[in-house]
Amino acid sequence: MTKPTTVRDGGTEAPPNDFIREIVRQHLAEGRCSQVHTRFPPEPNGYLHIGHAKSICLNFGIAREFGGICNLRMDDTNPTKEDVEYVKAICEDVRWLIAGWADHCLGLKPRGRTPQSQIVNGTTDYHLGPVVGQTDGDTLEPFFASDYFEQLYEFAVRLIRKGKAYVCDLSPEETDQYRGAPDRPGRESPWRNRSVEENLDLFQRMRAGEFPDGARTLRAKIDMASPNVWMRDPVLYRIRHAEHHHTGRAWCIYPTYDFAHCLSDYIEGITHSICTLEFEVHRPLYDWILENLDLPRPLPRQYEFARLNLSYTVMSKRKLLQLVREGHVRGWDDPRLPTLRGLRRRGVTPEAVRNFAYRIGITKYDGLTDMAVLEHAIRDDLNRRALRRLAVLRPLRLVITNYPEDQVEELPALNNPEDPHAGTRLIPFSRVLYIEQDDFMESPPPKFYRLQPGGEVRLKYAYIVRCDEVVKDENGWLLELRCTADLESKAGGRNAHRKVKSTIHWVSARHAVPAECRLYDRLFNVPEPDLLEDWRDALNPNSLEIVQAWCEPALARACPDERYQFERLGYFVLDADSSADRLVFNRTITLKDAWVKERQKLGS
């Protein structure tokens, strides 16, 4: 039985502590902010994966633990890379992951709403607050950085007026050259000292579409000699005559990440802007932009943590895309992928993902988390909830010679030994059965205690049988096993408590239901595929094996929301490819198998 669970909340374990939560706790205690407000800001240019889950669990976790809100925001400032397809998918995946756990702190906004303006001390301020805890998906939508383009433009104009930004005519190549190198200062652009009026005029004409892509940029005027290259007059706006998935053709200039992100945070009233380590060097710029705009409300602060690296997989959008495009997997929701859709289709529950995210912690150390930790979280979760069923993946016929030809018994079986309320069901038993090929060996090694010639095993919930005869065809292939049952060994019988070394699973051949089972394994053979010259060389050619299995009749009524443990084999979930007359199961993960290890020790 499972150990008594500690504090559980929405199916998720008690939250951990980490340096970011400590900062939040302190800020709240000091009254620096009255309510914590975080955000999860993916760029809609790809599907969410387990690494995003770490960020989602952090941002929504903090919101719910401290009575705050977490906005879902599309960080969509680059029209050439983004698409509504991704917006839709991201929303679905986030909802799936936080359902029943943090929906009440999910910050959305009424569809189409843009920031409201308000005059504070003579200048215009922009704010867009969230709507929280509503499930109406039709009238609400996520936040979009692109909804702030008008306000962002206004902020840029303000910077120009203050002499803190200028229009630069350098080409992209020239801009690169002028930037210098990390160990060498840059040179000032010849356009750096244009008048405010000229800058205003040019910027307005950039917006009006007078110049082609790349002809000019708007740049912050900071310090070309800064040791931090991001402070060397970074580009704030670039010209892109491209259609945007959310704003259409309304704009031909687009703000860069650095300009848009801090201000989006500000507009939404974000208090703690949490991102990954690579943005650490951007923080001075994040602060510079906000501080040079004389904004009336409290400024958001950026904090960085280490992104997730997981062994035996790849996480970069580029590589995931490549796996899909090159056909190494069957799509974005392929159960072998670390995408949230992949994990979902594989049968992993949101609770398992959240518990995993909680257990790995939050630090600034860029490490590598063992896939075994994720796998453990999945087993831990599924062990608790999965209904036990009997199914045989690779059948071997077993005939019980002393069992009447026509007899059928309905044997009671526990649905879940971990859950007394899960009840029982009946399994039909008859003279001809299928057992797992792996559960029989004609000449077994020492520690094999499954069925062997002359040996005995218990058939789960049924009788103890002895193998009398091994029947083969002319080529020596195993055809069937002929056994005799101890007819007194069934539950309630005289020999019910006889001990045998092993209990194996089985199905009655006559009653068995066929099913396709997709057996997934790790996608890569090495812990760090990224280290290889070509990471694809490490692809596991056996990451998917398809077998035709035989299942106990109860599985004919399987439904997609249930999780099943095929006893002694692993956890399975019904796949979307199933239909009324065809069962397809995905193996989420195998059970831990001590025999596999024993066999490896024996050297085969």
The yes or no reply on residue 502 touching RNA (CB under 7 A) is yes
Q: List the interface residues with RNA, window 258-297 (CB under 7 A).
A: 260-261, 277-282
Catalytic (active-site) positions: 43, 307, 317
- Report, in Å, the least distance between residue 199 CB and RNA: 15
Give the angle 479-542-594 at the CA atoms, nearest 5°: 70
Q: Which is nearer to RNA, 329 or 393 (CB)?
A: 393
The yes or no reply on residue 301 touching RNA (CB under 7 A) is no
CB 223 within 8 A of CB 231: yes
User: Which 8-state DSSP code applies to residue 331?
Assistant: S
Q: Which is nearer to RNA, 324 or 451 (CB)?
A: 451
- Report, in Å, the least distance between residue 7 CB and RNA: 14
From the list 164, 194, 245, 490, which residue makes contact with RNA (rule: CB under 7 A)?
A: 490
What proportions of the chain, in percent to the nearest 5, are helix, strand and coil? Answer: 30, 25, 45
From the list 257, 322, 470, 525, which residue makes contact with RNA (rule: CB under 7 A)?
A: 257
Q: List the interface residues with RNA, window 39-78 (CB under 7 A).
A: 41, 43, 75, 77-78
- Report, in Å, the least distance between residue 510 CB and RNA: 21
Q: List the interface residues with RNA, window 377-396 (CB under 7 A).
A: 379-380, 383, 388
Report the DSSP beta bridge partners of residue 522.
Answer: none
Q: Which is nearer to RNA, 131 or 426 (CB)?
A: 426
Q: Which is nearer to RNA, 13 or 103 (CB)?
A: 13
Site stretch for RNA (CB under 7 A), options 32-40, 333-341, 416-424, 556-564: 416-424
- H helices of 146-190, in order, are 149-161, 172-179
From the list 17, 35, 193, 195, which residue makes contact with RNA (rule: CB under 7 A)?
A: 17
* Torsion over CA: 467, 472, 478, 480 (sign): negative
The yes or no reply on residue 556 touching RNA (CB under 7 A) is no
Closest CA to 235 of 295, 285, 302, 201: 285
Residue 97's Cβ-count burial label (10 Å; 0-12, 13-18, 19+) is: buried
Closest CA to 100 of 128, 74, 64: 64
For residues 595 and 363, give the distance between their C-alpha atoms in angstroms, rounded to a whole number.
37
From the list 110, 367, 420, 560, which residue makes contact with RNA (rule: CB under 7 A)?
A: 367
The yes or no reply on residue 172 touching RNA (CB under 7 A) is yes
For residues 198 and 483, give the distance between their C-alpha atoms in angstroms, rounded to a whole number.
96
From the list 12, 59, 151, 256, which residue makes contact with RNA (rule: CB under 7 A)?
A: 256
The yes or no reply on residue 452 touching RNA (CB under 7 A) is no
Q: List the interface residues with RNA, window 97-156 (CB under 7 A).
A: none
Q: How far is CA 109 from CA 45, 144, 268, 271, 273, in A?
A: 21, 10, 10, 18, 19
Q: Which is nearer to RNA, 383 or 525 (CB)?
A: 383
Write 530-534 long-range contacts (CB < 8 A, 24+). Answer: 530/314
Q: List the interface residues with RNA, window 303-322 (CB under 7 A).
A: 306
Regarding beta strands 272-276 and 513-520, do their DSSP bridges make them parallel or antiparallel, or are they unpaired?
Answer: unpaired
Q: Which is nearer to RNA, 201 or 280 (CB)?
A: 280
